[in-house]
């Protein structure tokens, strides 16, 4: 199945601090049209990539009244970024450094960031270490506490060993794994998700990430308390913050979301009805909610 979304962006490559070749998609509207608006940088989930953000990036960069430059990053070992020979480097601190390197390479001094799942965890670290890069933050179904049940579910389906033989089967597998929590998706949505998650190799879909990333989850003891990031989350209190939470998520509890709102009284919570972890940001009313949030922030000094 051909790549149907290779429009609307420039492919950019840059080098990490330790010499790895990393990839970004750069959606650039007309310079005059987007003047005075800070860019949006999108960070994907654990095994996901820039394709997750393509529909939203097109909407934001082509907005008729307030277009913005949008940059989506492939983390090391995912998508078009190089795999790391040192598998221990697939960690939040190293990946946060890669985001900082991307900003330097792509000429971004400050931006509004969207972080889905692991991408949002990376933003917790950046808020604590490089707050000057942040103008505002959107967290997609992630917070400083991860539910063990949700993590175990991710571990299990990533390591199930079942590989699709064709693109139709890829969509079927995704629906079998996630259909109970993504109740509003149509058949075409599952095929679109397959295109985002898999890479075409000689006409067959292949998972588009280093298998070592999924393998590492097997060694985690989910019966033990997971470390939290409340200290890092508190650094986000100085920034406008939006939280998108899936109605059927198993990773971000209501209790954690409530505590996030208590610690950040200006937090804007958007419920993604009929979606699990992590919500597709171009569905239902989410783009409009993101657009409204962006309209309230991101103006240069």
**Sign of torsion over alpha carbons 184, 214, 5, 31:** positive
Q: Tens digits of per-residue pLDDT, 270-290? A: 999 999 999 999 998 999 999
Q: Helix crossing, 92-105 with 118-129: angle to 10°?
A: 70
Q: How confident is the model at residue 226 (pLDDT cuts 50, 70, 90)?
A: confident
3-state secondary structure 250-290: CCCCHHHHHHHHHHCCCCEEEEECCCCCCCCCCCCCHHHHH
Contact (Cβ atoms closer than 8 angstroms) between residue 29 and residue 64: no
For 10-147+228-295, which CATH class?
Answer: alpha beta
157 vs 48: which has the higher pLDDT: 48
Supply the pLDDT for residue 137: 98
Q: How far is CA 193 from CA 121, 207, 233, 297, in A?
A: 22, 12, 30, 30
Q: How, if at all, do strands 111-116 and 40-43 pair?
A: parallel
Quote the tokens at residue 256.
């954690």
Residue 299 has pLDDT above 80, yes or no: no
Q: Rounded to a whole number, what is the largest CA-CA distance in the chain? A: 54
pLDDT at 105: 98
Judge if pTM exceeds 0.85: yes
Whether the predicted pLDDT of 267 surpasses 70? yes
265: phi then psi, degrees, rounded to nearest 5: -60, -20
């Amino acid at each position: 199945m051909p790549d149907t979304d290779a429009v609307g962006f420039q492919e950019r490559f840059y080098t990490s601090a330790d010499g790895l070749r990393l990839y970004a998609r750069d959606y650039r509207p007309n310079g005059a049209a987007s003047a005075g608006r800070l860019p949006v940088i999108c960070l994907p989930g654990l095994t996901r990539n820039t394709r997750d953000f393509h529909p939203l990036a097109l909407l934001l960069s082509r907005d008729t009244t307030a277009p913005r430059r949008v940059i989506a990053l492939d983390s090391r070992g995912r998508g078009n970024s190089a795999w790391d020979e040192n598998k221990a480097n697939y960690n939040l601190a190293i990946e946060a450094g890669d985001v900082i390197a991307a900003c330097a390479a792509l000429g971004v001094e400050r931006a509004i960031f969207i972080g889905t799942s692991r991408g949002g965890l990376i933003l917790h670290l950046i808020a604590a270490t490089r707050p000057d890069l942040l103008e505002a933050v959107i967290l997609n179904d992630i917070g400083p506490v991860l539910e063990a049940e949700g993590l175990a579910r991710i571990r299990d389906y990533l390591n199930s060993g079942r590989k699709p033989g064709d693109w139709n089967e890829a969509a079927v597998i995704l629906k079998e794994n996630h259909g109970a929590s993504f109740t509003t998706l149509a058949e075409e949505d599952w095929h679109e998700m397959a295109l985002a998650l898999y890479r075409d190799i000689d006409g067959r879909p292949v998972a588009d990430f280093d298998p070592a990333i999924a393998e590492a989850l097997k060694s985690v003891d989910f019966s033990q308390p997971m470390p939290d990031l409340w200290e890092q989350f508190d650094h986000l209190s100085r920034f406008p913050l939006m939280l998108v939470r899936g109605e059927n998520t198993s990773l971000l509890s209501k209790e954690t979301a409530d505590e996030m709102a208590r610690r950040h009284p200006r937090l804007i919570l958007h419920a993604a009805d009929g979606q699990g972890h992590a919500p597709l940001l171009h569905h239902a009313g989410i783009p409009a909610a993101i657009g409204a949030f962006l309209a309230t922030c991101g103006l240069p000094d």
